[in-house]
């Protein structure tokens, strides 16, 4: 392909363009990165701020720590410094960043020093980098400073290099999302000289710092880390630029990592090593934990450990997954193939003796089967405690009395049965009865009961059935061997039976949760209103979690409580602030999160397919949510978000349909007015102009014709306005017909006479049956209905006569108006009674508003009657409109 053709087909990466558009809506984050304290990060920030201030840029200082350095403090002259917020903490007053003051001032650039700083308890956010994130979200550019040892993924490496554990850490994702990283570098020897001169710390602290942290080897290693991270960030920016501008260049290598973790102590190191590896390779990475599908083996402590690992991985920029399966190797490889991973990172340890002989480790099994994939093994430190290989189920000592009672009951019953059998039958294998006792105890009480039953069975079998009886002495050597074999078999069988019991219990728990979710989904699918979905969700959550639950929705731009269970649950100022944060930022807030952790509730956003629909708050409890409860919570929240979004869309659809219907009526009305008013107005205007201009020169016949035209067109306009007023009365529900005795014959004759007056050339035939009963109704409205029907027949009925008939049909009175025009298609027989409906197109159509039949239906139904249209009527053509009214019993009219 030619270069020109390649240029035409090359397109920017859409994800990169979306990321760029998102950055344009936010403020910019600039990080001044250094290898260690004292390299001049704050000095560089203030020097640059002074130059921009001189150029007229709105730069303010939100918070800067000079640490007593005079040359740094001198740079504050001429810069606006925001007052600090004073917070009482453990008996002393601390001066912190006033976040609300910075948001209210809203400068173009604000300087906030020490990115890794931890805020005191009671602050809006636990960490300063979260304060900075809020400033950036408000559209304010932020400058800040960071030392490389404060990065989360480097914490263990820095501790290994320097021997100092860094407590204040920043997630790597903060540095990754920075718009600009400026490296402030200083050679290690020069930094040590500055320290000795007292330009970094006070003299009494400088000597201790040189001995502990500021060693030449430490500073050199930290400097290398800072240079590498800055280079990685520059490479990321270059790749983003190439993608946004569709430029061929040095693209990323395409590496992708799968990181396997568990609840063991080595997993934290695995996550940190994988983070550094992913950063060096510029590769995305997924942290995965695998659980057994056939049993629940995770204790709350282990689940909490895995949750902590997942939070750490997400802070370092990883994606997290949970997988359920029994074949761990196959599940890992399946995920790696699905995600196109190139390397698997997993922790391993040295295995000794019999352990290596009889079992293969997970890393070894992966290495054998992972063809085409690299397996990166992370090993523990020398002084790291080895985890025991064989992990027997840890007994719950609180259940020991109950387990002992269960075991004793089964063993005692079995012993009694065995003694009875031994009295009548000499059985050499009577020990098999005690296996039944062990199995029964394991099924009833679990592994601890099975273990105790095995020991008791061994003792009981020895005491009651092995010679010499009623002693624990064993005379025959083979009986000793048989007894120990029995004990081993009993323990193994009890273990298998207890495991089956655990599997059944786990299956029961999962089935119960699945059934509960199914019932909730079925009920939620049948709800069309937002209020029903809200109350169904909070009641289901409270029943599943046994905690107070609140659900908040945004109405009229303000977030408020829509439902709570129990109903008396209330939210204080901290809770509402955390809920608003979760709604605005679309991330969890409140208890257990990094935002307003002092709140009693943890608030989670409800994210539907078309955006956020609300916020759900779950009250804090001393017990953490277990894995099943967390899964149920996530599923219920997802389904609730979809249901609320569906209800909102349904309401919007109804509103939109009503709006479109109104637009259609409005368009029909304007079209009708433009046609039905313009024609009579033009006729009247022409006649009046002719009379005024010609005057006496016109013949009496011409003058009469013009006056007659004025009268006819005025009458048409009057009928048009009357129809509009009648339709308005019907729509508003203010039409209240009279309930008098009405003679149908008189009404028909009056309507026919009125029609003949306006259409003298049309033939109208009437046929009224004798002995018609009177009807209850309004003679004026009935006359208007007949006139509208006759007027409609005149317009569309052709030149044939119009027939009006009235007859009895049982106790009812039928009145019909029939014409012999073209008729109405069968699919339009109901539509002719809709407002503004007309047959044909505007060009060349008969005059009329399209309201006559609609008004007729409204009047007839208001008087308790029914109306419908039939077509064809006669000779396979024409239209008949039939009205049915209940007749009055015992009343008759005279024949005419």
Chain segment 227-245, per-residue pLDDT in tens: 878 877 776 666 666 555 5
Choice among 234-243, 427-436, 514-523, 588-597 with the minimum mean pLDDT: 234-243
Rounded to an integer, the average pLDDT of 734-763 is: 82
pLDDT beyond 60 at 696: yes
SS3 category, 796: helix
- Cβ neighbours of residue 78 closer than 8 Å, sequence gap 6 or more: 50, 53
- What pLDDT shows up at residue 391? 47
| Residue range 845-889, pLDDT digits in tens | 444 445 667 777 877 887 888 988 888 877 778 888 999 998 876
pLDDT beyond 60 at 303: yes
Rounded to an integer, the average pLDDT of 788-804 is: 84
The more confidently predicted of residues 134 and 450 is: 134
Average pLDDT of the chain is 77
Secondary structure element (H or E) that encloses residue 439, with its range: helix 432-445
d(CA 400, CA 603): 40
Rounded to an integer, the average pLDDT of 69-96 is: 84
- Burial (Cβ within 10 Å: 0-12, 13-18, ≥19) of residue 604: buried
Contact yes or no for 852/788 (Cβ under 8 A): yes
- Cβ neighbours of residue 271 closer than 8 Å, sequence gap 6 or more: 259, 261, 287, 309, 312, 313, 316, 318
d(CA 80, CA 106): 13
DSSP code per residue over 848-872: --S-HHHHHHHHHHHTT-EEEEESS
- Residue 506 corresponds to which tokens in the numbers above? 């786990």
CATH class of 14-244: alpha beta
> Max CA-CA distance within the chain?
154
- Burial (Cβ within 10 Å: 0-12, 13-18, ≥19) of residue 623: exposed
SS3 category, 201: coil
Task: Round the CA-based radius of gyration of the chain to a whole number and report it.
Answer: 45
- Cβ neighbours of residue 548 closer than 8 Å, sequence gap 6 or more: 542, 564, 565, 566, 569, 601, 618, 619
Assign 389 a pLDDT band (cuts: 50, 70, 90).
very low
pLDDT beyond 70 at 627: no
pLDDT beyond 50 at 19: yes
User: Taking the domain 736-886, which CATH number applies?
Assistant: 3.30.565.10
d(CA 887, CA 671): 40
Query: Which of 400-404, 472-476, 625-629, 752-756 ranks highest by mean pLDDT?
Result: 752-756
- Cβ neighbours of residue 809 closer than 8 Å, sequence gap 6 or more: 884
Assign 123 a pLDDT band (cuts: 50, 70, 90).
confident
pLDDT beyond 70 at 690: yes
Assign 253 a pLDDT band (cuts: 50, 70, 90).
very low
Rounded to an integer, the average pLDDT of 367-371 is: 80
Rounded to an integer, the average pLDDT of 203-224 is: 67
Contact yes or no for 749/827 (Cβ under 8 A): no
Backbone phi and psi for residue 454, each to the nearest 5 degrees, phi listed first: -65, -45
Q: Could you check whether the bond before residue 87 is cis, i.e. omega within 30 degrees of 0? A: no
- Residue 490 corresponds to which tokens in the numbers above? 């009993």
| Residue range 574-600, pLDDT digits in tens | 888 888 888 888 888 888 777 788 888
Rounded to an integer, the average pLDDT of 622-635 is: 72
Q: For helices 779-796 and 852-862, give the axis angle rounded to 10 degrees.
A: 150
d(CA 50, CA 48): 5
pLDDT beyond 90 at 18: no
Ramachandran category for residue 642: left, alpha or beta (phi over 0 → left; psi -120 to 50 → alpha): alpha
- What pLDDT shows up at residue 329? 86
Assign 60 a pLDDT band (cuts: 50, 70, 90).
very high
CA distances from 604 to 49, 568, 586, 637, 643 (A): 39, 21, 8, 9, 16
- Residue 336 corresponds to which tokens in the numbers above? 């790696």
Query: For residue 611, what are the β-bridge partners?
Result: 608
pLDDT beyond 50 at 836: yes
DSSP E strand stretches across 325-410: 343-347, 374-378
* Residue range(s) of every CATH 3.40.50.620 domain in the chain: 257-350+359-378
Contact yes or no for 311/289 (Cβ under 8 A): no
Contact yes or no for 210/196 (Cβ under 8 A): yes
- Residue 827 corresponds to which tokens in the numbers above? 């699919």
**Rounded percentage of the chain residues whose pLDDT exceeds 90:** 7
CA distances from 321 to 278, 324, 332, 625, 817 (A): 17, 10, 11, 18, 75
Q: Which of 224, 244, 97, 100 is nearest to 158 (CA)?
A: 224
- Residue 570 corresponds to which tokens in the numbers above? 């209330």
- Burial (Cβ within 10 Å: 0-12, 13-18, ≥19) of residue 413: middle
What pTM, to 2 d.p., does this model score? 0.50
Q: Which of 632, 618, 615 is nearest to 520 (CA)?
A: 632
- Residue 289 corresponds to which tokens in the numbers above? 């934990």
Query: Which of 189-198, 354-363, 837-846 ranks highest by mean pLDDT?
Result: 189-198
d(CA 752, CA 833): 22
- What pLDDT shows up at residue 648? 78
Rounded to an integer, the average pLDDT of 756-769 is: 84
pLDDT beyond 60 at 369: yes
* Residue range(s) of every CATH 3.30.565.10 domain in the chain: 736-886
Alpha-carbon dihedral of residues 779, 780, 783, 787, nearest 10 degrees? -170
Q: Which of 410, 398, 473 is nearest to 440 (CA)?
A: 410
Secondary-structure percent of the chain, ordered helix, strand, coil, rounded to 5: 50, 15, 30
CA 856, 858, 860: angle at the middle one, nearest 5?
65
Question: Could you tell me how many residues make up the chain?
Answer: 896
Choice among 142-151, 198-207, 440-449, 865-874 with the minimum mean pLDDT: 198-207
257-350+359-378 fold: Rossmann fold (3.40.50)
- Residue 565 corresponds to which tokens in the numbers above? 């269970």
Residue 863: CB atoms within 10 Å: 22
Contacts from 328-336 at CB under 8 Å and sequence distance 24+? 328/290, 328/362, 329/362, 329/365, 329/366, 329/369, 331/290, 332/258, 332/260, 332/288, 332/290, 332/366, 333/366, 333/369, 333/370, 333/373, 335/258, 335/286, 335/288, 336/258, 336/370, 336/373
Assign 166 a pLDDT band (cuts: 50, 70, 90).
confident
- What pLDDT shows up at residue 387? 52
- What pLDDT shows up at residue 478? 61
**Rounded percentage of the chain residues whose pLDDT exceeds 70:** 77
Q: Which of 869, 845, 846 is nearest to 856 (CA)?
A: 869
529-649 fold: Beta-Lactamase (3.30.450)
SS3 category, 302: helix
Backbone phi and psi for residue 184, each to the nearest 5 degrees, phi listed first: -105, 105
Query: For residue 559, what are the β-bridge partners?
Result: 554
β-strand 589-590 against 601-608: which pairing, if any? antiparallel
Q: For helices 477-525 and 530-545, give the axis angle rounded to 10 degrees.
A: 160
Assign 287 a pLDDT band (cuts: 50, 70, 90).
very high
- Cβ neighbours of residue 21 closer than 8 Å, sequence gap 6 or more: none
- Cβ neighbours of residue 524 closer than 8 Å, sequence gap 6 or more: 533, 536, 537, 639, 640, 643
Q: For helices 678-694 and 700-732, give the axis angle rounded to 10 degrees.
A: 150
CA 139, 141, 147: angle at the middle one, nearest 5?
135
d(CA 708, CA 110): 84
- Residue 660 corresponds to which tokens in the numbers above? 């479109």
Q: Which of 460, 469, 364 is nearest to 418 (CA)?
A: 460
* Residue range(s) of every CATH 3.30.450.40 domain in the chain: 529-649
- What pLDDT shows up at residue 591? 82
pLDDT beyond 90 at 740: no
Residue 189: CB atoms within 10 Å: 11
Distance of CA 74 to the CA centre of its chain: 51
SS3 category, 386: coil
DSSP letter assigned to residue 153: G
- What pLDDT shows up at residue 249? 47
| Residue range 599-621, pLDDT digits in tens | 888 888 888 777 788 888 888 87
Query: Which of 256-260, 418-422, 680-684, 825-829 ranks highest by mean pLDDT?
Result: 256-260
* Residue range(s) of every CATH 3.40.50.300 domain in the chain: 14-244
């Amino acid at each position: 392909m030619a270069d020109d053709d390649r240029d035409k087909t090359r397109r920017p990466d859409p994800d990169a363009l979306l990321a760029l558009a998102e950055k344009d809506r936010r403020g910019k984050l600039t990080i001044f990165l250094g290898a260690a304290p004292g390299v001049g990060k704050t000095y560089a920030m203030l020097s640059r701020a002074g130059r921009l201030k001189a150029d007229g840029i709105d730069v303010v200082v939100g918070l800067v720590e000079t640490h007593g350095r005079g040359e740094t403090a001198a740079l504050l002259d001429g810069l606006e410094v925001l007052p600090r917020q004073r917070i009482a903490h453990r008996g002393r007053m601390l001066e912190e960043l006033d976040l609300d003051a910075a948001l209210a001032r809203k400068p173009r650039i604000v300087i906030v020093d020490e990115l890794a700083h931890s805020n005191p308890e009671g602050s809006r956010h636990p960490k300063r980098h979260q304060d900075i994130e809020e400033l950036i979200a408000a559209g304010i550019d932020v400058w800040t400073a960071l030392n490389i040892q404060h990065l989360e993924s480097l914490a263990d490496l820095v501790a290994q290099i320097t021997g100092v554990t860094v407590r204040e850490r920043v997630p790597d994702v903060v540095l990754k999302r920075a718009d600009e990283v400026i490296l402030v570098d200083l050679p290690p020897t020069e930094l040590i000289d500055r320290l000795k001169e007292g330009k970094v710390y006070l003299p009494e602290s400088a000597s201790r710092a040189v001995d502990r942290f500021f060693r030449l080897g430490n500073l050199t290693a930290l400097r290398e880390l800072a240079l590498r991270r800055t280079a990685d960030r520059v490479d990321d920016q270059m790749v983003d630029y190439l993608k946004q501008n569709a430029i061929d260049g040095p693209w990323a290598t395409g590496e992708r990592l799968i990181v396997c973790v568990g609840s063991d102590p080595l997993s934290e190191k695995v996550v940190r090593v994988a983070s550094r590896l992913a950063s060096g390779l510029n590769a995305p990475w997924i942290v995965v934990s695998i659980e057994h599908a056939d049993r629940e083996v995770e204790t709350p402590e282990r689940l909490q450990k895995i949750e902590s690992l997942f939070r750490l991985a997400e802070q370092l920029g990883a994606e997290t997954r949970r997988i359920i399966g029994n074949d761990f190797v196959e599940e890992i490889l399946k995920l790696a193939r699905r995600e196109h991973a190139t390397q698997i990172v997993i922790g391993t340890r040295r295995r000794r003796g019999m352990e290596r002989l009889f079992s293969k480790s997970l890393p070894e099994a992966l290495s054998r089967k992972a063809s085409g994939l690299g397996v990166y093994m992370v090993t523990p430190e020398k002084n790291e405690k080895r985890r025991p290989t064989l992990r027997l189920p840890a007994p719950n000592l609180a259940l020991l009395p109950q387990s002992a009672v269960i075991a004793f009951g089964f063993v005692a019953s079995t012993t009694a049965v065995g003694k009875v059998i031994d009295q009548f039958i000499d059985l050499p294998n009577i020990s098999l009865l005690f296996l039944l006792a062990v199995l029964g105890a394991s099924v009833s009480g679990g592994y601890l009961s099975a273990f105790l039953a095995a020991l008791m069975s061994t003792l009981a079998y020895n005491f009651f059935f092995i010679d010499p009886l009623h002693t624990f002495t064993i005379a025959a050597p083979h009986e000793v061997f048989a007894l120990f074999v029995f004990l081993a078999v009993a323990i193994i069988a009890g273990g298998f039976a207890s495991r089956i019991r655990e599997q059944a219990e786990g299956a029961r728990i999962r089935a119960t949760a699945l059934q509960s979710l199914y019932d909730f989904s079925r009920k939620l699918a049948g709800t069309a209103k937002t209020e029903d979905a809200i109350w169904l969700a909070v009641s289901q959550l409270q029943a599943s979690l046994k905690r107070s639950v609140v659900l908040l929705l945004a109405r009229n731009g303000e977030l408020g409580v829509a439902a709570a269970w129990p109903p008396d649950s209330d939210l204080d100022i901290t809770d509402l602030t955390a809920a608003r944060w979760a709604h605005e930022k679309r991330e969890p807030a409140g208890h257990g999160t990094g935002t307003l952790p002092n709140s009693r509730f943890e608030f989670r956003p409800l994210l539907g397919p078309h955006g956020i629909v609300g916020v759900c708050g779950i009250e804090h409890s001393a017990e953490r949510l277990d894995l099943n409860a967390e899964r149920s919570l996530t599923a219920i929240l997802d389904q609730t978000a979809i249901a609320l979004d569906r209800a909102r869309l349904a309401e919007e659809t109804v509103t939109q349909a009503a709006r479109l219907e109104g637009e259609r009526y409005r368009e029909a009305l304007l079209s009708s007015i433009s046609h039905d008013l313009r024609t009579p107005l033009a006729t009247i205007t022409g006649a009046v102009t002719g009379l005024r201009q010609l005057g006496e020169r016109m013949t009496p016949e011409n003058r009469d014709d013009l006056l007659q035209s004025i009268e006819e067109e005025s009458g048409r306009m009057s009928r048009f306005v009357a129809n509009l007023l009648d339709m308005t009365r019907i729509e508003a529900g203010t039409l209240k017909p009279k309930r008098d005795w009405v003679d149908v014959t008189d009404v028909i004759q009056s309507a026919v006479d009125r029609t003949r007056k306006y259409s003298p050339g049309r033939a109208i035939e009437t046929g009224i049956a004798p002995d018609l009963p009177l009807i209850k109704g309004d003679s004026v409205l009935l006359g208007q209905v007949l006139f509208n029907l006759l007027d409609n027949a005149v317009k569309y009925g052709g030149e044939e006569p119009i027939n009006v008939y009235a007859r009895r049909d049982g106790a009812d009175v039928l009145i019909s108006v029939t014409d012999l025009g073209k008729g109405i298609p069968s699919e339009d027989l109901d539509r002719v009674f809709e407002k503004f409906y007309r047959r044909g197109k505007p060009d060349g159509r008969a005059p009329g508003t399209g309201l006559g039949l609609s008004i007729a239906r409204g009047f007839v139904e208001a008087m308790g009657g029914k109306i419908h249209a039939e077509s064809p009527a006669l000779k396979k053509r024409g239209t008949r409109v039939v009205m049915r009214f209940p007749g009055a019993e015992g009343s008759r009219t005279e024949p005419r």
